[in-house]
Structure 1
Amino acid sequence: MTKGREAKGREAVAQPDVSVIIGAYEAMPYLVECLASVEAQTLDPARIEVIAVDDGSTDGTGEYLEEFAARAPMPVTVIRQENSGGPSGPRNVGLSKAVGRYVFFLDADDRLGPEALERMVAMADENGTDVVLGRVEGVNRNAPKSMWGKTLKRTDVFSSNIKFTLSAQKLFRRELLERHGMRFDESLFTGEDALFTMEAYLRADGISVISDYTCYYLVGRTDGKHVTKSGSYTLRFDSARALMNLIAEMVPAGPKRDSLMIRPFLITVLPQFGPRFLKETEEVRRHKLELAKPLMDAHWNEGVARLLKVHERLRLHLVAQQRLDLLDDVVEFVGAKRKPDALLEKRGTRLYLAYPHFRSKKAGIPDWVYLAGPREARSFPGWRRTPPPSFPRRVIRRLRRLLSSRGTTAAA
């Protein structure tokens, strides 16, 4: 049963700039700092509304939300409902109530930087962008890093590294979400935010990235209840399948699609075949290969493979080939952090990394699987992008320089 408490002062406030949507389940005591960070925002409270959905908590979360609503300087709506089993339901409920020009999804165990909303709204307004990413910092947990090198006023998912941050903690233009009927997939219990955010990236008229200010603090819970730590491996394959299908539906086959496909392969599928794989039961190991097979058959290709490092590409190639007999050797080699021998060929322009089964006739793995790309190869002495000039060319160049110098001397 759903119970709602209407936002105090809502009827007296014009359309807010941003609706902060908080889905909360068993969020105490983290919720205290979360809400304090909302209250401390430098953006005028009249320009903010908060919609908090208590998803059947029993630890006082709902009561604390109502206490906050009674004293907060901005309009707050608290909705209390029976547990839905995942984060998608509360977010969708909150989104259905939102009236702000933008929405921001704030997890109840995380917190905002004081200037976060002011900076993000200003960035979106100044550049007309539909999605704004604010720099994320981890507290007792890892946070994405590769996309924060530079503030970008206007970019897209193909021209930046934002595909590696698909959590929902972004500023989204609400009109974009409503125009396309976008909601979180409630059938997914992990990776549901990746699906939502990737769709927003692909539909957005411009994306902004704020790298010079920490907008969001991603807090690691010590009670083991964080959503990203829960869920079986079957749920991971479900989320990978959903994201791959979305990318395939929205992006035509080719280099652009390949550049996005590496995200689910690298972040969701590949970790299932890491060091832990060696310790799992034979039944689980074979089940993982079975779950991976339709994904590999549908979406794995040489274009995607060549964008990965050799050890990543090799493992996924063996998964695609269902070669459990060879995969164990590679997983063990990589897990032990052993360095493969490097082999330079073609006058230094081709670098092969000799991971297990390299040029084994019995294994039959193509050489290109072991070929390092430019980013990986450039750290190896002797590798070069283009071959050195041949002996005749070197002789001709020397003669030209000699003749040129003689001509200059004669003229003088």
Structure 2
Amino acid sequence: MTLAEPDVSVIIGAYEAMPYLVECLASVEAQSMDPARIEVIAVNDGSRDGTGDCLDEFAARAPMPVTVIHQENSGGPSGPRNVGLAKATGRYVFFLDADDRLGPEALERMVAMADKNGTDVVLGRVEGINRKPPQSMWGKTLDRTDVFSSNIKFTLSAQKLFRRALLERHGMRFDESLWTGEDALFTMEAYLRADGVSVLADYTCYYLVGRTDGKHVTKSGSYTLRFDSARALMELLARMLPPGAKRDVLMVRPFLVTVLPQFGPVFLRNDEEIRRTKMELAKPLMDAYWNEGVAHRLRVHERLRLHLVAQQRPDLLADVIEFIKAKTAPTPVLEKRGTRLYLAYPHFRSKPAGIPDRVYLAEPREAKAYPGWRQGSTESFLRRATRKIRRTLSQRRTTPRSATAA
């Protein structure tokens, strides 16, 4: 007997997903949750490799209700996900990619986590199979957190459990105009609108499978699409957050994950026309959103490269990338009695280059790895205060008494 409202709707958008789809569907069928509490909505996005037949066969045998929708190819993952979301009736939705798979207890554990804590989004631990997954957010299970006080901003893929009422209340859908990064936009908005996020780090809920046929969307597409993705995410953050520390901490993500890789070793392999185009595409993003609040949250070599992009200096940038590519260690320059550390990457204190010293200044999290550096703020203040008191006492001892005091 099926429930009027399933606990979770599993939405699978599938395009040319064979043979990976077989194990994906098997992982849904093997869920420990009562099948009556699950519904599956699968959208065959114009596949011609047997994907549609595989979905139909699964619908005929699966212990849970399955809806299969066949449509012409939409050109990306957003369309199928939106179609599935429009059909969903579950309290929660989970977006499952057709080439990936679930851990056996994934849905049961994630739904229980959301119900226990009243949270709107649940992240289940991800492991990779022939593919590197995000890692920095799985340190420990968090019953309740948010995007500002955890590392969840570095996993913006759609493979999360979302409370459907949250998505419907805000009319949230995937942006079908984006060919890549559409899930980052959707997930970041959900994080910002959510009444709490849970992180389930002690059980592998999701297996991210690396395809060997080169059909992963994240591995394909023009570099121009990456700038489109970065711009869309930056604009979302600017709309939803006022200028300040909270916006800056989230702006780190598109700068670090989407923009900066375009100015790594691949930049050296690009011809002059592509280099010029990349600088042109980056300029409005740097002008609008790059600031000291974002910059000081990055490591020196990251900050330096983005500073040179902002200054439109591809000549100097190429020197820095060559230096990093060669794995040359920058010379540490300690000043202010060891409380200030500069990392002398190329063009440090070069008058012709004119790059400010602050660009090379290591923040404490990076500086602490270098012998001789020490935290200066509180200790220096106390030391200065002590010296001032000593000078005052010394002056009092050496000042002669006035004649009237005799």
- State whether TM-score is above 0.5: yes
CA RMSD after TM alignment: 1.5
C-alpha displacement at 1:276, in angstroms? Answer: 1.2
Aligned to 1:405: none
Moved over 3 A (4+): 387-394
Confirm or deny that 1:174 pairs with 2:164: yes
TM-score of the aligned structures, taking structure 1 as reference length: 0.92
Q: Percent of aligned pairs with the same residue?
A: 82
Aligned to 2:74: 84
Aligned to 2:131: 141
Aligned to 2:235: 245
Q: Out of 141, 148, 155, which is 1:165 matched to?
A: 155
Q: Kindly tell me: are residues 391 and 194 of structure 1, through their superposed partners in 2, closer, same or farther at Cα, counting changes over 3 Å?
A: closer
Aligned to 2:355: 365
Q: Out of 364, 380, 389, which is 1:374 matched to?
A: 364
Distance between the aligned counterparts of 2:15 and 2:42, measured in 1? 11
Deviations 1:248-292 (A, max 9, x none): 100110011000000000000000001011111100000000000
Q: Out of 11, 29, 40, which is 1:21 matched to?
A: 11
SS of equivalent to 2:133? coil
SS of equivalent to 1:365? coil
Matches within 5 A, 1:7-406: 12-386=2-376, 387=379, 393=386
Distance between the aligned counterparts of 1:223 and 1:325, measured in 2? 37
Deviations 1:210-268 (A, max 9, x none): 00000000000000111110110000000000000000100110011000000000000
Deviations 1:2-43 (A, max 9, x none): xxxxxxx8xx53210000000000000000000000000001
Which amino acid is 1:381 matched to? P
Distance between the aligned counterparts of 2:185 and 2:143, measured in 1? 24
Which amino acid is 1:348 matched to? G
Distance between the aligned counterparts of 1:185 and 1:92, measured in 2? 9
SS of equivalent to 2:42? strand
Distance between the aligned counterparts of 1:51 and 1:249, measured in 2? 32
Q: Kindly tell me: are residues 80 and 361 of structure 1, through their superposed partners in 2, closer, same or farther at Cα, counting changes over 3 Å?
A: same
C-alpha displacement at 1:187, in angstroms? Answer: 0.2
Distance between the aligned counterparts of 1:243 and 1:38, measured in 2? 31
Structure 2, unmatched stretches of 5+, are 391-406
Which amino acid is 1:26 matched to? E
C-alpha displacement at 1:189, in angstroms? Answer: 0.5
Which amino acid is 1:30 matched to? Y
SS of equivalent to 2:60? helix
Distance between the aligned counterparts of 1:228 and 1:375, measured in 2? 31
Which amino acid is 1:19 matched to? S
Distance between the aligned counterparts of 1:120 and 1:279, measured in 2? 44
SS of equivalent to 1:208? strand
C-alpha displacement at 1:373, in angstroms? Answer: 0.5
Distance between the aligned counterparts of 1:233 and 1:100, measured in 2? 37
Q: Kindly tell me: are residues 117 and 364 of structure 1, through their superposed partners in 2, closer, same or farther at Cα, counting changes over 3 Å?
A: same
Distance between the aligned counterparts of 2:86 and 2:384, measured in 1? 72
SS of equivalent to 2:180? coil
C-alpha displacement at 1:392, in angstroms? Answer: 10
SS of equivalent to 1:215? strand
Deviations 1:114-168 (A, max 9, x none): 0000000000000000000000001001000000001000000001000000000
Deviations 1:292-314 (A, max 9, x none): 00000000001100000000000
Which amino acid is 2:139 matched to? G
Which amino acid is 2:306 matched to? L
Distance between the aligned counterparts of 2:179 and 2:106, measured in 1? 28
Distance between the aligned counterparts of 1:271 and 1:391, measured in 2? 43
Distance between the aligned counterparts of 1:202 and 1:352, measured in 2? 36
Distance between the aligned counterparts of 2:107 and 2:249, measured in 1? 31
Aligned to 2:398: none
Which amino acid is 1:280 matched to? N
Deviations 1:328-374 (A, max 9, x none): 00011111111000011111111000000000011000000000001
Q: Kindly tell me: are residues 392 and 131 of structure 1, through their superposed partners in 2, closer, same or farther at Cα, counting changes over 3 Å?
A: closer
Distance between the aligned counterparts of 1:206 and 1:16, measured in 2? 22
Distance between the aligned counterparts of 2:327 and 2:187, measured in 1? 34
Aligned to 2:404: none
SS of equivalent to 1:91? helix
C-alpha displacement at 1:393, in angstroms? Answer: 4.9
SS of equivalent to 1:328? helix
Which amino acid is 1:63 matched to? D
Structure 1, unmatched stretches of 5+, are 1-8, 398-412
